[in-house]
Structure 1
Amino acid sequence: MEFKVDFVVTWVDGSDPKWIAEKNKYFLNAGNSKKGMNSKKAFREWGTFKYWFRGIQKFAPWVNKVYLVTYHQKPDWININNEKLIIVDHYDFLNHSNLPVFSSNSIEVNLHRIEGLSEHFVCFNDDMYLTSPVTKNDFFDEKGFPKYNTAINPIIPARNGTANFQVNDMEIINSHFTRNEIMKNGKFLNIRQGVRNLIKTGLYSHSKFICGFYENHLPYPLLKSTMQKLWKKEPEVLKNTSKNKFRSKTDVNIWLFKYWQIASGEYSIGNPKLGKLFTLDDADQALWKLVNSRKYKIMCINDGFNIKDENKVMEDFNRALNKLLPEKSEFEK
């Protein structure tokens, strides 16, 4: 089966004074805390985004189009004339009555509305870097089904984490599929899921309901048709998420569509060694060496909450990525 695959990446420059002023008009009035999931950390810009594009050009030259989703912003170095690049403003696909929104959940549950987006696409956060060559087959199988690596796994209720979204996602999944259907469809006991995931499934699969799915925080291969299907089945919860200007405990998130693919069995098992999540709280020379080792095809290098020296981490981070990807991409001026 021949099909095109697009990449979608969401980005914000949290240091932009105009954007900060607009966000602040709504932020405290909405009862938000300066700490937590809507804190400054969630919008921090490390100056590394150009390396995201360099990684795409070097390690995924086969990609059809790259959709950069942003709000009245674009990097000053971006080459808007690149034939593969399409810059999408929130006003281009989100309900205007909800704007502005500053929540990734509100944005991502509507990505299927982007004009021209292919049926098969991969959603990236701007902290998910390609560090070695990837193929279309890393994300989709020959039938066009998304590829995931998963397990039955409890949802961890960490402060400022994603647990509320995951619980809301799983409530919907459990309302549409029985426990037995999920176990039958989910391919959880296949050795290709990896030993760790098999152990997790063995430990947590005996409850009355499925408690949750393992989340590896890597890019999300998705189908537009699945997103459209969920919007027909669960319009109210998705509309409510779309209205929230900031992330809320009542939200669902983009994982809902991934979880639907798993629960329905319309997915294939991915490579458990494709990539890994890292945090800048633990940034040291070992991490920077790993970036250049090409051990993983994808590294999600997430902001931390307890970075001791942000300036040093920023310098080291950029230096490590520049060593891996020193050449300008065609996405840059």
Structure 2
Amino acid sequence: MDKIDFVVTWVNGADKRWQAKRAEFDNRSLSKAGMSSDKAYRDWGTFKYWFRGVEKFAPWINKVYLVTDDQIPTWLNIDHEKLVVIDHTDIIAKEYLPVFNSNAIEMNLHRIKGLAENFVYFNDDMYLTAPVAPTDFFQAGLPVDMAVLSPIVAEENGTANFQVNDMEIINKYFTRNEIIKNGRILSLKYGKNLIRSLLQLPSKFICGYYEPHLPLKFKRSTFEKVWEKESQILTETTATRFRDKSNVNLWLFRYWQLATGEFVPKNTDKLGNLYSLSNDNSQIFSDLVTSKHKIMCINDGFEIAELEKQMVLLQDSFAKLFPKKSTFEK
């Protein structure tokens, strides 16, 4: 089995120094900031459990790369043999910094020095909550994924603009028939998700792919290949300090792998589940404590009443699953 690395991005939105830096460059009101609003940077105090999950449920991992903006959690053991802290200055040109746009940061993950050819990218709200195997992510040196067609849905503060921009590039290089053939679109391995594709097949063009909102599996060489072909748009996204409708996003590299057929087809929905925090999170807490899924993506929510109370309840649930410190902690 080839080496597999994990990459995770993190920001401490409560850091006064970081807040001042952001305010220096952001003249928009929060109502207009959208996906760059305070919610996007809010820290629920659960990041240490991300590391506990990695140590407990993926001890086979080669390296963990933590990508931050001159921030290191106070509890983190930076001398851990498997941990490498990557600052934005290590992967993004000085002229584009500071940057508060996750799209810009993610465009440049392949520039991480020493990063393995096969790596898994996590947002800091995606937690391992049950044992995972290398084959859950890669098989025969290829990412495990599913090429399922799905319409792009426009919603406030959503990712539709990025997806449209991504698909414009995909449709530039691949025909409809190539996308269907290479993606094994009609594979029974996708389970009930096959229905999504069947509903889209009558269309004369490929609108978009279904996004499972779980950690993404990448070949480092995929980033390099797309950068060779579309350096202008990727550079323009890198140069955008805050998210903008003109951006492409990380999904472009996933779509490229699907369109070229460089992946192993499987119903990846079975790997985990997406949750959104609200005023009643009892189901989230229950599924977390009982390890119902291998991976749980726990998104922040809007207008949560008694926010501090919900934070404490979430932290308590994580503590029940992971009562002991990991060696990634001091």
1:246 aligns with 2:246: no
Give the equivalent residue in structure 2 for 1:295. 292
Displacement after TM superposition at 1:303 (Å): 0.7
Partner of 1:275: 272
Q: Secondary structure at the match of 1:36?
A: helix
Report sequence identity in percent: 54
State the 1:306 CA deviation.
Answer: 2.7
Cα contact 1:149–1:272 (8 A) shared by 2? no
Amino acid at match of 1:109: M
SS in structure 1 of the partner of residue 139 of structure 2: coil
CA distance in 2, matches of 1:185, 1:293: 38
Q: Distance in 2 between matches of 1:217 and 1:110?
A: 20
Q: Which residue of 2 is the match for residue 152 of structure 1?
A: 149
Contact 2:185 2:197 survives alignment (8 Å): yes
Are 2:251 and 1:258 equivalent residues in the alignment?
no
Look up the match of 1:56.
Answer: 54
Which sits farther off after the overlay, 312-321 or 277-286? Answer: 277-286
Determine the structure 1 residue equivalent to 2:114: 116
Cα distance, 1:283–1:192 mapped onto 2, change above 3 Å: farther
Normalising by structure 1, we get a TM-score of 0.96
Shift of 1:95: 1.0
Q: TM-score, with normalisation over the residues of structure 2?
A: 0.97
Deviation at 1:308, TM superposition (A): 1.8
| Alignment partner, residue 82 of structure 1 | 80
Cα separation, partners in 2 of 1:284 and 1:28, compared to 1, 3 Å: same
List per-residue Cα deviations over 1:256-308 (Å, max 9, x = no partner).
00000001111112333101111002642121001122221001000112312
Which deviates more from structure 2 when the two are superposed, residues 61-70 or residues 274-283? 274-283
Q: How many angstroms does 1:146 deviate by? A: 0.7
**Counterpart in 1 of 2:128?**
130
Matches within 5 A, 1:105-254: 105-142=103-140, 144-195=141-192, 197-254=193-250
Bigger shift: residues 117-126 or 35-44: 35-44
Amino acid at match of 1:58: K
Distance of 1:68 and 1:308 partners within structure 2: 31
Which residue of the partner structure matches residue 23 of structure 1?
22
For the 8 Å contact 2:30–2:38, the answer to whether it is kept is no
Query: Tell me, what secondary structure is at the counterpart of 2:273?
Result: strand
8 Å contact from structure 1 (residues 34, 40) kept in 2: no
Q: In the alignment, what sits opposite 1:5?
A: 4
Aligned partner letter, 1:101: V
d(CA) in 1 for partners of 2:231, 2:17? 33
What runs of 5+ residues in structure 1 fail to find an aligned partner? Answer: none
Do the aligned residues in 2 keep the contact of 1:127 with 1:302 (CA within 8 Å)?
Answer: yes
* CA distance in structure 2 between the aligned counterparts of 1:221 and 1:169, rounded to whole angstroms: 17
| Count of equivalent residues | 329
What CA distance in whole angstroms lies between the structure 2 residues aligned with 1:96 and 1:22?
15
Deviation for aligned residue 1:175: 0.6
Does the CA contact (< 8 Å) of 2:223 and 2:253 recur in 1?
yes
